[in-house]
Structure 1
Amino acid sequence: MKLNRRNFILSLVGGIAGIQVTPLPWKLMDDSAIWTQNWPWVPVPPTGEFTSVKSVCSLCPGGCGIKVRKVDNRAVKIEGRTDFPVNPGGICPVGMGGLQLLYDESIRYLEPMKRVGPRGAGVFENISWKEALSILSNRISALRKKGTPEALAIVDGNKNDSTMSALIKRFATAAGTPNYIRMPSMEDTYKMTSYLMTGNSSPMSVDLENANYILSFGCGLLEGWGAPGRVLNAWGLWKERGNKVKIVQIESRASNTASKADKWLAPVPGTEAALALGIANVIINQGLFDTSFIDRHSYGFEDWTSEDGTHHMGFKRLVTDKYSPRQVSKITGLKESQIVAIAKEFASAKAPVAICGKGKGNNNGSLYEFMAVQALNALVGNINKPGGIFVNNTLPLSNLPDMKLDSIAARGLKTSRIDRAGSKLFPFTESLIDNMSRAINEGDKNTVDILLVFASNPVFTLPDGGAFKKALNKIPFIVSFSPYRDETSYMADLILPDHVYLEKRDEVVCPTGLQYPLYALSQPVVEPLYNTRHTGDVIIQLAKRSGLQRHFPWSDYEDVLKFRARGLFDSGRGLMTYKHNKPVWQQIKQNRLAASDYSTFNQMWEGLLAGKAWYSLPHTGKVSFSTKSGKFEFASSKIKSVLGTYSKGSLKAMGIEAEGDEVFMPHYEQLRSSANRHDYPLRLIPYEIINLADNFVPSPPFLTKTLFDNQLRKKESFIEINPKTASDYNLQEGDRILVESPTGKAMVRVCLTEEVMPGNLYMPLGLGHTAYDEFLRGKGANPNQIISAEKDPLSGQFVWWDTPVKTVKI
């Protein structure tokens, strides 16, 4: 059989399914644990009283409930909870291995430290908390006295709507800097999509459990997408229902999700928006859309005339004219019949849902692509219905009090942001960290004098991380609040270490993808082991030392949490009681709305402290939007109000090739790299796996033992290449090669597999650390070092799935 893009899938699934669908990561973890028990130097913990603490895992935004088993004061086991709404007993490998992040001294900072060696060498000396806070507060005060508070910049990796994020942003505002920069994430793209099409900036919420047709545009449902424990449980529910549920996975690599799905489609990477619009074309042209929803609750579907008499193209004409199955087939490489079949199946299903967010969803996505996928849910009218998308209001947490700023802060906040987020080029984006790196690297003077880094490791996790590291070398003073000895903290001048997640109280706010609002508190399951402090407490102490105490009236961070949580009580809604035999998704399907089951704020607060969750059932069938039209907008009035007057040149500067009304609607924009495709003929695509952490949190070291030999062998990473591509470049199994992009290079070994699309190279994220301990440092290569930081049109965020590369055989 001739191997090409259209038929290479046919030879794959049968051969790989037997391997990929097994619970090998969990089995390998168990084997590793048994094997290490034979090491003579492994300490044997003493016996004692057995207890357990209920908490919530905060290693990722998923917010799975956990129970930590203790022997006296030592935590010895982490497992999932069945009495928590999010994950009915399920937990991912990283969550299971969390005890290593607590007890492994070699990956943690044990007390405050200041740099005494060359920047980046990780050579520090211990200092007291008093000295550390004095050093930082004096530098911040000096900036303010100088009248340049904007020279303070902050990089924050906490969840956008969390109290910690609100507290850090408040500190930035009180000090007078507009340069509060967030790490990019899938949730940012979700929120922008929701804001532009529904007028609501709350996270997108998906009722997976009640859906019977799941159209997944690259979501790693078995790789840790969303709340891993919840999604894995949902997958089990789908399979229990047999042929009553169908899962369709769209991605170019045979991931675990693609291998176990009922159908797998492999379009050219980056063409998912075109595919979604091709599906929309079939649904519209064959009259399969929900006419009631479209007529009553949508705007911009049909052609329309504005108040000034101008005639405008609607979404229906756009997809009819530009996204026929034939046209989309040429773009995506899929057969016309495949596009038509999926569209008919999706539109005829009882509860279809289309979802997006590649891999685990840690990284941002393409805004126009997300809009195109959301348009599919609107076409079938499955919004605020069981099995569909829910447009929920934000959690009713109390806002922090307004501040009356001093003249220094007021002047500083009027200066332009260093990342130009919110400017004419990037009007819908709150933060652009790569723009900050570029501004620093290209600037003639120190635009940033002090950088504070919270809950993030951008040197390791950012695409083109070398540019960020180069920028760090130009910043006079860097402070890391990381509890871990990560790559970014090695570049710091001062370390103010946070507790790790099992030592502190924090919150979980609306876990990623959950179809209903939820709030919970993680518990300190053990007392802090070392001389570390909760970063929330440090921010309050730092504010008081820097002359900003009137803006921070709280005694400690828990006091702030309690202040914000009162808004939940004041809302008059929400439940605290949960029974695992009556899961929330069943209550949603039955449309049961219950009154609050607590009578006082203290009763609610004590429940949260005891490990319970506050959650609110969404009202199914109620459709309301906060857009200008009051409807779901296929043609976004918010985009039109901003970009409607832009010239063709201004749009091109944003990376938008479309013109006219098409700009305001979901459409396909071909990715355009600044690299010469002739010199770099291949495409690098990173992928994620469930048993490796690839965000701010390091992988528990022993999880490297759960990797297959074709992912990591000793200290070498493997890159997956289709045999056809390997033959074109004279590559054999196991060859050592350099993968080179315009921004960097990495040495890897070749893994030949027909599980991947020809013309692309696939490399796992989470390896290639240059920090931590011997089990993580120097293991494999980090693809982020060679991924080019190209920009997504409209959002301006990273494009991390389309890096042109070439190979050099060693």
Structure 2
Amino acid sequence: MEFSRRNFIKFFAGGLGGTLLTPLPWKLIDDIAIWTQNWSWVPVPGKGKFSHVNTVCTLCPGACGIQVRKVGSRAVKIEGRSDYPVNHGAVCPLGMAGLQVLYNEGIRWKAPMKRMGPRGSQEWKEISWDEAIDTLAARIKGFRDKGNPEKLAAVDGNQSRSTMALLIKRLLNSIGSPNYLRMPREEDTHSMVNFLMQGFDSPLTFDLENADFILSFGCGLLDGWGSSGRMLNVWRRWATNDRQHKTHIVQVDPRASNTASKADLWLAPSPGTEAALALGMAHVIIKEKLYSKEFIDNHSFGFSDWFDEKGLEHKGFSGIVLGKYSPENVENITGIKSRVIIEVARKFASANAPIALAGRGKGTFPGSLYEFMSVHALNALKGRVNNKGGTLITDDVPLAPWADVVYDSVANNGLTKERIDRAGTLRYPFTRTLIHKFAEVINGSHSSPVDTLLLCSANPAYTMPDNQSFIKALKKIPFIVSFSPFMDESSMMADLILPDHSHLEKMVDIVRPTGIQYPLYALSRPVVKPLYRTRHTGDVIISLAKRIGGSIASSFQWANFEEAIKERVSGLYDAGENKVSWEDVKKNGYWYTPRHFFGKRSDIFKTASKKFEFFSTKIELAIKTYSKGLRPGKPSGLEGKSFDDALLNLGISAKGDEVYMPHYEEIKSGGDKNEYPLLLLPIEFINLATGWIGNPPFLNKTLFDYQLTKDDLFVEVNPKTASRYGLTEGAKAILKSPKGELSVRIHHFDGAMPDVIFIPFGLGHTAYDRYLKGKGVNPNEIIDPIEDPLSGQPVWWNTRVKLIKI
């Protein structure tokens, strides 16, 4: 299925015009005004001096600069900062609604709390901070003194390069636990692609501002992907360029998303076949010799057939693509016409600065590794690696390192133990964290291998695919500590609450925000004094380490979190031409160096071949090592059953050299196709929070009545699919998968692919306050995640379902 921008506009113009001619939008505005003015907790500022405070929004990893208007000591308005390099004044709906995150007392913990009744009973007792920290310190000392430091685990949702993330990981390392887990994100997959194809263990970044052809495979560029403020500005730049310099946008998406509706061309392949589509375009580029000969000949490895040092011949990427991924074959896989594949491939290849992007929605969840590699291969074919308007290797922010962790014998012994989630083992060699495996191992154990779990800026009981399995695991863990400032689902299962400040009450940093193509350090600062008896989690971690004592205390030499951040920032004082002081960084909220040496090739590849690898030598080594580990003493090469066993265990269906290269893997779906004939695809909106922070009430009222009515969530269904089930517009139905069922209502949407059910993420909370609890349903309750081949990350977009009319 494909629509040009012109046909798409024609298709929807009638509906849009009819909407504007009805009282609907104007009534909606009036309803919002009346509804919001009658909340009991609406902040009414008293008299006072007007002031503005510049800071950075940390509600997502995008790190947009914001300006907070204050009346006296009260914050009353949030706007984007025009002088901030990331977003230049733009800000997303969640960022604008940040005051509700601060002032909505119905969702916030106000002091340390100790659970008194059974889990879920919401029977709490307020305690002092000293008692709270002493309780946790004694618990950790108890199992550590018995030689079991690995019984401590942490789930962290802070940005991976932030000082908070490093501090939490440092705590676990000093104690001796390898079980530091991170909430998965799309950025993790980009990091693996960069590592396997270019040798850098960091996420890919994108010079979108200078690109003239955008080929987006699922990225919700206008739906919250990356840094939302940046993307809104970039899109405006693309749209306002004159015809000669116009940026052409192609959106690959099975649904007519906001991004797809505004693109020049929308392609709707069958979900999960994006890798085949990318390789079909690669076929055209290779066959017609439209690739960059200079880059391929001088800076790539594995493009053509080659012989290794043993004299064995290997098939090259070009030969495999030409043999398997003709436009005609890809049409049968994806449903996209071969002529369209050829046309888009030629336009991409003929552009001056094209870029191909891989992703899904906002980038909240990880992607498929081979799919992302296939998309990135298009960039390599055109030499769009470290070129203006292409993908870039961004220099690290020159932050000063901390002193090494001090380890005692208990810590050294604990860190030799295997991680509970198996990440980094021979089976999952490239994955740093597998939180779904963490739950699986605990659920499969007679007793929990984890005694104490720390939850930091994360709400896995709500956000994890198949969240019911994670909740089951939480129930088996003896002691859970939540640092969340919010009364979220995971906090409600905790034994101890050590509430953090809200984002406008504290100092935190974000290092190199998602997708930003230059080194940038963002630092937020407190806008208002803490409203309640909360405490910065960084300060609590430092205090906890000192209470535990010994080598752990020696690893935390700072008096407070600000000292820890300040020590890192000292590396910026003499960095490059942009020298700054600590006071400069605190005042401005950022440090950055926008200069980049485009076209430089000498040090942008750290692979074994020192080139861009179509044939990944790291994948080859990992699979052969794993193969040898399966059958000790057996050969680890291509011969022998052990290699086939390895591929089977890894979920890889490809054979031979294709295993080590970008290729299409058909992802198995959860559920039998005959019993569950439909496919479930969760979607994300820019005005609906889908992470660990609940949606602010203001944003609930921006949802249309065909998305949420009272407590009923609507799913988008193609009218032809709905008619087969006798489901009219607004009809109630049961949406059922092998994991469970949800009660939903039906919205007919011509932009939905037939036989695919599109359901929004972000609602269906069982916690928070009356404005969020019980509103809609949570798709994670029925998602049946399948492991992505090789990476092992959960595939959350391929669950089979059925609709049952009520």
**Within the alignment, does 1:35 sit opposite 2:5 as a pair?**
no
Partner of 2:559: 555
| Alpha-carbon separation, structure 2, partners of 1:90 and 1:636 | 40
| Alpha-carbon separation, structure 1, partners of 2:567 and 2:47 | 40
Say whether the 8 Å CA contact 1:8–1:754 is kept in structure 2.
no
Say whether the 8 Å CA contact 1:28–1:706 is kept in structure 2.
no
| Alpha-carbon separation, structure 2, partners of 1:742 and 1:40 | 40
Alpha-carbon spacing, 1:612–1:682, altered in 2? closer, same or farther (3 Å)? same
| Alpha-carbon separation, structure 1, partners of 2:591 and 2:14 | 41
Say whether the 8 Å CA contact 2:670–2:738 is kept in structure 1.
no
Partner of 1:52: 52
Deviation at 1:396, TM superposition (A): 2.4
Report the residue type matching 2:101 in the other structure: L
Partner of 1:566: 570
**Within the alignment, does 1:342 sit opposite 2:344 as a pair?**
yes
CA-to-aligned-CA distance 1:636-675 (integer Å, 9 cap, x gap):
1111111135311111111111122111111000011352
Partner of 2:335: 333
Counterparts of 1:310-709 in structure 2 under 5 Å?
Answer: 310-547=312-549, 548-570=552-574, 572-573=575-576, 596-598=577-579, 603-616=580-593, 617-623=595-601, 624-645=604-625, 646=627, 647-709=643-705
Between stretches 473-482 and 633-642, larger displacement belongs to 633-642
Alpha-carbon spacing, 1:376–1:26, altered in 2? closer, same or farther (3 Å)? farther
Deviation at 1:735, TM superposition (A): 1.4
What is the root-mean-square deviation in Å for CA atoms of aligned residues?
2.1
CA-to-aligned-CA distance 1:604-641 (integer Å, 9 cap, x gap):
32111002421122211212211111111111111111
| Alpha-carbon separation, structure 1, partners of 2:6 and 2:255 | 13
Report the residue type matching 1:171 in the other structure: L
Report the residue type matching 1:433 in the other structure: I
Secondary structure of the structure 1 residue equivalent to 2:573: helix
Deviation at 1:567, TM superposition (A): 2.6
Report the residue type matching 1:767 in the other structure: L
Report the residue type matching 1:39 in the other structure: N
Deviation at 1:423, TM superposition (A): 1.3
Say whether the 8 Å CA contact 1:426–1:796 is kept in structure 2.
yes
Secondary structure of the structure 2 residue equivalent to 1:504: coil
| Alpha-carbon separation, structure 1, partners of 2:777 and 2:259 | 24
Deviation at 1:789, TM superposition (A): 1.8
Deviation at 1:466, TM superposition (A): 0.3
Report the residue type matching 1:783 in the other structure: P
**Within the alignment, does 1:807 sit opposite 2:795 as a pair?**
no
Secondary structure of the structure 1 residue equivalent to 2:752: coil
Partner of 1:229: 229
| Alpha-carbon separation, structure 2, partners of 1:679 and 1:805 | 8
Say whether the 8 Å CA contact 1:520–1:611 is kept in structure 2.
no
Deviation at 1:27, TM superposition (A): 9.3
Secondary structure of the structure 2 residue equivalent to 1:319: helix
Alpha-carbon spacing, 1:487–1:306, altered in 2? closer, same or farther (3 Å)? same
Say whether the 8 Å CA contact 1:25–1:707 is kept in structure 2.
no
Alpha-carbon spacing, 1:667–1:734, altered in 2? closer, same or farther (3 Å)? same
| Alpha-carbon separation, structure 1, partners of 2:16 and 2:92 | 16
**Within the alignment, does 1:288 sit opposite 2:290 as a pair?**
yes
Deviation at 1:306, TM superposition (A): 0.7
Partner of 2:782: 786
| Alpha-carbon separation, structure 2, partners of 1:437 and 1:553 | 34
Report the residue type matching 1:794 in the other structure: L
| Alpha-carbon separation, structure 2, partners of 1:459 and 1:27 | 38
Secondary structure of the structure 2 residue equivalent to 1:784: helix
| Alpha-carbon separation, structure 1, partners of 2:432 and 2:25 | 39
Deviation at 1:30, TM superposition (A): 6.8
Say whether the 8 Å CA contact 2:5–2:263 is kept in structure 1.
no
Deviation at 1:393, TM superposition (A): 3.0
Say whether the 8 Å CA contact 2:5–2:262 is kept in structure 1.
no
Counterparts of 1:79-98 in structure 2 under 5 Å?
Answer: 79-98=79-98
Alpha-carbon spacing, 1:703–1:796, altered in 2? closer, same or farther (3 Å)? same
CA-to-aligned-CA distance 1:721-758 (integer Å, 9 cap, x gap):
11111122222211111111111211000111111000
Alpha-carbon spacing, 1:16–1:223, altered in 2? closer, same or farther (3 Å)? same
| Alpha-carbon separation, structure 1, partners of 2:767 and 2:364 | 21
Say whether the 8 Å CA contact 1:198–1:631 is kept in structure 2.
yes
Report the residue type matching 2:558 in the other structure: W
Partner of 2:630: none
Partner of 1:732: 728
Alpha-carbon spacing, 1:710–1:348, altered in 2? closer, same or farther (3 Å)? same
| Alpha-carbon separation, structure 2, partners of 1:636 and 1:25 | 55
Between stretches 15-24 and 371-380, larger displacement belongs to 15-24
Between stretches 40-49 and 339-348, larger displacement belongs to 40-49
| Alpha-carbon separation, structure 2, partners of 1:713 and 1:612 | 40
Say whether the 8 Å CA contact 1:426–1:794 is kept in structure 2.
yes
Report the residue type matching 2:88 in the other structure: P
Secondary structure of the structure 2 residue equivalent to 1:171: helix
| Alpha-carbon separation, structure 2, partners of 1:612 and 1:203 | 23
Counterparts of 1:132-281 in structure 2 under 5 Å?
Answer: 132-243=132-243, 244-281=246-283
Partner of 1:74: 74
| Alpha-carbon separation, structure 1, partners of 2:358 and 2:52 | 37
Say whether the 8 Å CA contact 2:509–2:521 is kept in structure 1.
yes
Deviation at 1:479, TM superposition (A): 0.4
Say whether the 8 Å CA contact 2:395–2:518 is kept in structure 1.
no
Alpha-carbon spacing, 1:215–1:26, altered in 2? closer, same or farther (3 Å)? farther
- The count of aligned residue pairs is 779
Alpha-carbon spacing, 1:493–1:187, altered in 2? closer, same or farther (3 Å)? same
Say whether the 8 Å CA contact 2:113–2:127 is kept in structure 1.
yes
Deviation at 1:12, TM superposition (A): 5.5
CA-to-aligned-CA distance 1:383-423 (integer Å, 9 cap, x gap):
22221111123322223322231111111111111111111
| Alpha-carbon separation, structure 2, partners of 1:806 and 1:7 | 28
Deviation at 1:35, TM superposition (A): 2.6
TM-score (normalised: structure 1): 0.93
**Within the alignment, does 1:796 sit opposite 2:774 as a pair?**
no
Deviation at 1:264, TM superposition (A): 0.1
Deviation at 1:563, TM superposition (A): 1.2
Say whether the 8 Å CA contact 1:764–1:783 is kept in structure 2.
yes
| Alpha-carbon separation, structure 1, partners of 2:697 and 2:49 | 28
Alpha-carbon spacing, 1:248–1:542, altered in 2? closer, same or farther (3 Å)? same
CA-to-aligned-CA distance 1:307-359 (integer Å, 9 cap, x gap):
11111111111111111101111110110001000100000001101111100
CA-to-aligned-CA distance 1:740-795 (integer Å, 9 cap, x gap):
11112110001111110001000001010111111101000111111112111111
Say whether the 8 Å CA contact 1:216–1:356 is kept in structure 2.
yes
Report the residue type matching 2:100 in the other structure: Q
Deviation at 1:13, TM superposition (A): 4.7
Between stretches 710-719 and 509-518, larger displacement belongs to 509-518
Report the residue type matching 2:700 in the other structure: T
Partner of 1:583: none
| Alpha-carbon separation, structure 1, partners of 2:24 and 2:359 | 23
Say whether the 8 Å CA contact 1:121–1:491 is kept in structure 2.
no
Report the residue type matching 1:114 in the other structure: K
Percent identity reads 53
| Alpha-carbon separation, structure 1, partners of 2:214 and 2:496 | 48
CA-to-aligned-CA distance 1:122-157 (integer Å, 9 cap, x gap):
331111101101110000000101111111111111
TM-score (normalised: structure 2): 0.94
Deviation at 1:29, TM superposition (A): 9.4
**Within the alignment, does 1:742 sit opposite 2:719 as a pair?**
no
